[in-house]
Structure 1
């Protein structure tokens, strides 16, 4: 399942916005990224998509289910009504009809909202949303192992504040539970950690806990056949869904491995980082947030695709606001590539403030938003971060005051105003580090100019 196109009328800052999402005819990527200043409308687009998609997940659960309405505060200030129209391509053919026409793969529905006391200017039409949901319901009726598409929205409010290991509420983790809280306005990942704990408890009942294996290893290693059989038996008892989560986290963060719950010396969640076992609470906020985000996507895919040999190959739509949140620049560089490699059949719609996110992935589709308008950017692949900051994000690569002083210095050198240049250089030398690259360059240029004038 993929979003082909979205049309916003009087939503957020957008009087009329019609935009296509990757993959498109000219862009094979599964990633669309929106960039722009704060308040440009990036989050409004993601929330509009989440609102529209909530009606599909609601009607997949029950035939007359209701999704989220357009909030009145989301209506353009100068307008009395707003609408969201979305076009979906479902190429996985939920009806199981191999003779399905190309036109039958597309589903379009619209959602409308008027201010209180105002006459309705748009009408909602959810017929095709209901039809698409019914195709999946019919497929589930025939085969309860039918794969379902992931639909998830991760807003900015996704900080991992704590890791709950005492499960206070008994949850169900059935297939449709993969949609629980997947489109809410705020995620704390409690459900992910609770789910992990419950699944691992069940896994340990059918397999051999890691701490027991570590105790048996020195005893049985002398008998390689017995040790191999024991490992094979234990591997067969591994929980398939937990394996998907552990695999996804390790692919995304190769220095992290073997997420698990430990019960000694006290109950805690542990992970191996560069070969050293740590309490997950010891990780940085960025590490915890990325681990929880990737783990939650993998968890939902595993729940929604019970028959897939590799649940990470499940399809779906994932919306992530400020995807670079809390991440080190080196992780920002590889983010898009790792999303595509780890979840190859998911469509991602992202927002970012980082030039590194859009300059290190070859085919990513990038839109910049300004004053309620959008513009598709040419590929930024291979561009240095400073160029992206200047050309795309309209941001100076250094402090504007220092930048102006450096330009004055270079102009003075160029115009052979050596006394003025020396004075500017001395001032900047007091303010900037001794190894400042532009300052070193200016100093060399000034020295050359002085030698040239001395020879004349």
Structure 2
């Protein structure tokens, strides 16, 4: 399963907009409020249409609060009106065949329509029947990781992990479109597999594959396991061992997300055994992929995910120039200016300035303000040399105003004062 294009009509802040996606990695950038998360939400509704014919999760629909609204100022109090229909249309590849499907909300008292996705639902119903018959079909993975994933992880930690009983392969879809990573399900699966491995006295290829995926993305750590004594996931390197709850937010973020993707792949496609993470296709949505990551990790996370899950299509958002720098051609979607493109050879400064629109990224904003204030100060100083009376006093006040915000910078403030004294303005103390 892969989505090549999505068309949005009256969805969130979009009147009518089309976005195209690369088969491997896609990163959305733009200022706050430009609609990055809205696109991820639309993709989750579009891709989630497979649950119209597939057990394991409920098909998400378009909510009334996701319908575009316009303001009308007909009286003293403006009104806010919803504009219908709200529609999401996907063009993608299902089982190597091009397919178009749509979901529509036609009014405030309506439900999201199913008819536009009937062909996709029919295909998913066939998958359902094949799973029940025990056929070795490859199911697509769908998963959504939102910005609240770490907070929801903390809630999951308190509930502990249980041993999983045998269940359907479709359990790999449970909670997959909730923007929180399903830490509890992953840890329970991990614990169960460790116990089975212990009981059998031999390694399980599926568990090894999931561990490999985590190690590949968890830089600086050599091993991950479930410690029965601590009742927790534990990571180790040559110097130390730490339980999951004592790890930094950045490490927890990567461990839980990568582990969750790998465990879902293994659950959906157990017949692939150790190849489940590398051969499972599907769509993964990640809001703020750089969440809590050090710049060193930001530079590597895209290539790590691409390497560990080569059959998956990723769509992520970011505000990090390091993430942008790691992309390949046609993998960037710039909501501020679609014409702006980037290449891996660009410097961080070039990306920040030319792609993200930040002026003079080499200098801090405060430094730029100080330089502008100094230029204005010198202009006022030159003008004051020949001034008299009220104009002279006004220029002196202007110089005081310009230097006041930077009085905490002793050297800068003293330099301006020395320049002022050297000019010997009338009325200034010697």
Fold-level similarity (TM above 0.5): yes
Change beyond 3 A, Cα 1:164–1:123: closer
1:27 corresponds to which residue? none
Q: What does 1:48-87 correspond to in 2, within 5 Å? A: 48-61=42-55, 67-78=59-70, 79-87=83-91
Partner Cα distance (1:295, 1:122) in 2: 34
Q: Is the 8 A contact 2:54 2:124 kept in 1?
A: yes
Q: What is the Cα-based RMSD across aligned positions, in Å?
A: 3.6
2:186 corresponds to which residue? 192
Change beyond 3 A, Cα 1:429–1:42: closer
Change beyond 3 A, Cα 1:123–1:17: farther
Q: Is the 8 A contact 1:81 1:121 kept in 2?
A: no
1:281 matched to 2:272: no
1:393 matched to 2:344: no
Change beyond 3 A, Cα 1:304–1:377: farther
Name which structure has the greater RCO, CA cutoff 8 Å, separation 6+: 1
Change beyond 3 A, Cα 1:173–1:430: farther
SS in 2 for 1:375: coil
Q: Is the 8 A contact 1:241 1:303 kept in 2?
A: no
SS in 2 for 1:8: strand
1:203 matched to 2:197: yes
Change beyond 3 A, Cα 1:388–1:196: same
Partner Cα distance (1:245, 1:192) in 2: 10
Partner Cα distance (1:165, 1:50) in 2: 27
Change beyond 3 A, Cα 1:33–1:433: farther
Partner Cα distance (2:367, 2:116) in 1: 56
2:310 corresponds to which residue? 344
Q: What does 1:253-264 correspond to in 2, within 5 Å? A: 253-264=218-229
Partner Cα distance (2:209, 2:265) in 1: 9
Unmatched 5+ stretches in structure 1: 24-29, 94-104, 208-236, 440-456
SS in 1 for 2:222: strand
Alignment equivalent of 2:38, drawn from 28, 31, 44:
44
Alignment equivalent of 2:121, drawn from 127, 130, 140:
130
2:422 corresponds to which residue? none
Offset of residue 286 of structure 1: 0.9
Alignment equivalent of 1:406, drawn from 362, 371, 384:
371
Offset of residue 164 of structure 1: 5.2
1:158 matched to 2:149: yes
TM-score scaled by length of structure 2: 0.78
Higher mean displacement: 300-309 or 379-388: 379-388
Partner Cα distance (2:215, 2:242) in 1: 15
Q: Is the 8 A contact 2:13 2:35 kept in 1?
A: yes
Alignment equivalent of 1:88, drawn from 86, 92, 97:
92
- Runs (4 or more) in structure 1 with deviation over 6 Å come to 120-123, 410-413, 426-430
Deviations 1:310-349 (A, max 9, x none): 1121211111111111111111111211111111111000
Change beyond 3 A, Cα 1:377–1:312: farther
Q: What does 1:287-326 correspond to in 2, within 5 Å? A: 287-308=251-272, 309-313=274-278, 314-326=280-292
1:379 corresponds to which residue? 342
Alignment equivalent of 1:149, drawn from 140, 143, 148:
140
Q: Is the 8 A contact 1:332 1:356 kept in 2?
A: yes
Partner Cα distance (1:433, 1:377) in 2: 41
SS in 2 for 1:256: coil
Offset of residue 430 of structure 1: 7.4
Change beyond 3 A, Cα 1:122–1:18: farther
Unmatched 5+ stretches in structure 2: 71-82, 386-399, 413-430
SS in 1 for 2:88: strand
Partner Cα distance (2:21, 2:61) in 1: 23
Change beyond 3 A, Cα 1:204–1:80: same
1:243 matched to 2:208: yes
Q: Is the 8 A contact 1:112 1:124 kept in 2?
A: no
Deviations 1:222-266 (A, max 9, x none): xxxxxxxxxxxxxxx2223321221011111242232112234x4
2:75 corresponds to which residue? none
